[in-house]
Amino acid sequence: MQSAWTLLSWGPEGWLDDLAYGVFITVSLAVATLPIGMAIGFAVALAKQSPEPTVRLASNIYTTIFRGLPELLTLFLVYFGVQIAAQSLIHLVDPEATIEINSFISGMVALGVVLSSYASEVFLSAFRAIPRGQYEGGYAVGLTKGQTMRLVITPQLIRIALPGLANLWLVLLLNTALVSAIGLADILRQAGVAARVTKHAFLFFGVATIIYLVLAIISSFGIHAIERAVGSREEHR
């Protein structure tokens, strides 16, 4: 029977290279998903403040759906649903053609829409925390709506929303483990394969636990550094 050190080594007898690849996939997926979720969330937050009732209704329906569904179910709906829809469209052109949706893209889309639904509430709360006089002050000095949003509102918005967005990043990082259900070789998937092959489930799932904790700790240090940078910038203004 192989020792734990051998199993956790690099090379053909060890699984450390596979786990390292899983870390790369996990971090890449989280980093790729973050800007998508934040951008959509910001747009949805703006839509929730629109004077047009239909726009507000649509944005509220959007957040209700994706906050109300389990993340794993959303992932399955995107992965299998989009694949079925794309296959049906292709069959209209070529009945013999087949298409397979990339699991990384599916995971990015599914986690992105879930993240955006929660991010929109964080942004909305930050918008409501900014006094109306800030907008009026921008207009009073001759700024357009776009300039007021970019130069006056957005810096304050980021400072107010940062703690909530930081928590969402940690949630997103941990939710990437769900993509193992659609075959993406993330940390959990690689640990599961190693556990089944070697029959050392506790060892590899324990290592996966440590990896996730290390990623969360590193993220926490990064978040604190960003918060300090933003705070010091505000003090110097």
* pLDDT in the model for residue 158: 85
103-129 vs 154-175: helix axis angle to the nearest 10?
Answer: 140
> Which one-letter amino acid corresponds to residue 149?
M
* pLDDT in the model for residue 193: 93
Average pLDDT of 198-222? 93
* pLDDT in the model for residue 74: 93
* pLDDT in the model for residue 89: 78
Classify the C-alpha dihedral 120-121-124-129 as positive or negative. Answer: negative
Confidence of residue 96 (pLDDT cuts 50, 70, 90): confident
Name the percent of the chain lying above pLDDT 90. Answer: 54
The b-or-e profile of 161-180 (16+ CB within 10 A means b, else e) is bbeebbebbeebbebbbbbb
Share the mean pLDDT of the chain.
Answer: 87
The 10s digit of each residue's pLDDT in 49-62 is 888 999 999 999 99
Answer whether 21's CB lies under 8 Å from 94's CB: no
* pLDDT in the model for residue 110: 93
Average pLDDT of 8-32? 90
Residue 132 sits at the vertex; the CA angle it makes with 154 and 47, to the nearest 5 degrees, is 60
The topology (CATH level 3) of 4-235 is MetI-like fold (1.10.3720)
Is the pLDDT reported for residue 147 higher than 70? yes
* pLDDT in the model for residue 129: 87
Domain boundaries, the chain: 4-235
**65 vs 150, which has greater pLDDT?**
65
Residue in 197, 218, 214, 204 with CA at minimum distance from that of residue 19: 204
* pLDDT in the model for residue 108: 93
Name the percent of the chain lying above pLDDT 70. Answer: 96
How far is Cα 4 from Cα 14, in angstroms, rounded to an integer? 9
